[in-house]
Structure 1
Amino acid sequence: MSHSVAGEPPSAGRRAAPMTTAVYSAAEWDLLTSLPGRVLAAAAAPGPGRPRRGVTEGLAGLEALTAGRSFDSDLVRAVVTTIYARPDGQPVPGNGSTDLVDLLAACREAVRVLDRRADPADSAAYRQWVQSVAARVCRALPPGRVRSVGESPADRRFLDRLGDALGLR
């Protein structure tokens, strides 16, 4: 992230001060900051027709989560900052469930919050970033495994349903 020199305006498209979260209620902010981690956990969880995931896939998801720090979106950067500012051991807001029905409902609720409160560009960036976290987990290959053709059909269905719930399809 670039910083402006004293007396110079901040980089184009970037605010001098961090984005305020005041436009979101505490419950809305908890939803937006817990959703990426819930998506990562659900993508890594085994399910019908979905393989068991290991460390490689989890690390791929964490890398995608961390990549949000360099997004050209104040909202995504603020969410990542909030996620990584939580003290170790502090529970992540949300119910912690990897149940797909609960996750998709949370995604749809996040879209409603973003529609009401976020700049359209920030909303799109957030939704795409959350989808990319799941995609990185589903597409990661453990050491020694060779990909045949794309992700499994079950992973594809998972990503499609997630994309629908995030309003990306």
Structure 2
Amino acid sequence: MSHSVAGEPPSAGRRAAPLTTAVYSAAEWELLISLPGRVLVAAAAPGPGRPERGVMASLAGLDAVAAGRAFDSDLVRAVVTAIYARHDGTPQPVERLTDLVDLLAACRAASRVLGRRADPADSAAYRQWVQSVAARVCRAVPGGRRVDQPATSADRRFLDRLGAALGLG
């Protein structure tokens, strides 16, 4: 149960926001919780030298998103919680699919937000987690049953560009 600073429970019918989310504006928080899904979609999309991956890759990406629940980062766990809370049956706006340029710009924006507002360890954990979502998708065997294929050279370029946009490389 969440408690206020004074140790009192939050007002009845009102949930206290986790401390990690309180420092972000609504737009910043939306960016942070939408980015893993956008990365998953982009990593699974076919492109020059990159095959269409199909259901197994998407499942691998979803598994990587869910793995954030076990991260030693309050921020990553809060983002995963928010992602899953969105799927409570209420209609959500349909996000438009964006191209790689838009995705990389969103990654750079998220990195700037994290640099300004997040604890350095949480910032690094979030950025590495998002990168791991893409890496898991890129390692999925198209149409296969296992998720352990080495990335193609096109996948490595995609992952390198993503890592650079996230400030990881």
Q: Is the 8 A contact 1:48 1:154 kept in 2?
A: yes
Query: Which ranges of 4 or more aligned residues in structure 1 deviate by more than 3 Å?
Result: 17-20, 144-148
Deviates more, 1:123-132 or 1:137-146: 137-146
Q: Deviation string for 1:59-81 (max 9, x for gaps)?
A: 00000000000000000000000
Q: What is residue 80 of structure 2 aligned with on the other side? A: 80
Where 1:21 maps in the other structure, the secondary structure is helix
User: Offset at 1:146?
Assistant: 10
CA distance in 2, matches of 1:51, 1:146: 14
Within 5 Å, give how 1:1-169 maps onto structure 2: 18-86=18-86, 87-88=88-89, 89-91=91-93, 95-141=95-141, 142-143=143-144, 150-169=150-169
Q: CA RMSD in A?
A: 2.0
TM-score, length basis structure 1: 0.83
Change (3 A) 1:143 1:165: same
Q: Is the 8 A contact 1:40 1:58 kept in 2?
A: yes
TM-score, length basis structure 2: 0.83
Where 1:72 maps in the other structure, the secondary structure is coil
- Gaps spanning 5+ residues in structure 1: where? 1-16
CA distance in 2, matches of 1:83, 1:69: 11
Q: Is the 8 A contact 1:45 1:98 kept in 2?
A: no
Identity within the alignment, %:
77
- Gaps spanning 5+ residues in structure 2: where? 1-16
User: Offset at 1:41?
Assistant: 0.4
